[in-house]
Amino acid sequence: MVVDLRRARRDHSLLAINDSSVEIVKNIKFLGVHLAENLTWTLNTSSITKRAQQCLYFLRKLRKALLPSPIVTTFYRDGGYFATISRVPLIDA
C-alpha cells in the first residue's frame, strides 16, 4: 500500500524488492488493524463492530436457552473466539 499525503494525485511507479514487484492494494490488515489507503478508521471500525455483533448474538442465544449466568460468563471470558474481541492478535492466521 502506498500512502501519499500530497494533494495532487500521481501515479506511482512499481516498487520492486529482490526483483519482485510489490502489489498496490486499496486496504490491508496488518497486526489486526485494517489500514485503508485514505487512512480512515471506517474499515477497521466496521470490522470490529461485526465481530462484536457476532459475539453478542451468540451470548443472546445462550441467555435465551436459560443457561445459568456463570456458564454464560465462562463462554464470554474463555470462549476462544470471543476472547479475541477484547484482545488484538499479534498475527492473524
pTM score above 0.95: no
Under a CB-based contact definition with an 8 Å cutoff, are residues 93 and 32 in contact?
Answer: no
Taking the C-alpha atoms of residue 69 and residue 13, their distance in angstroms, rounded to an integer, is 58
Express each pLDDT in 15-50 by its tens digit: 788 988 888 888 999 898 999 888 889 999 999 898
Q: Answer yes or no: is 2 within a domain.
A: no
21 C-beta neighbours (distance < 10 Å), count: 9
| Structural domain includes residue 48 | yes
The answer as to whether 38 is a domain residue is yes
Q: Is residue 3 part of a domain?
A: no
Establish if 5 belongs to a structural domain.
no
Domain span holding position 21: 16-86
The count of structural domains within the chain is 1
Q: How confident is the model at residue 73 (pLDDT cuts 50, 70, 90)?
A: confident
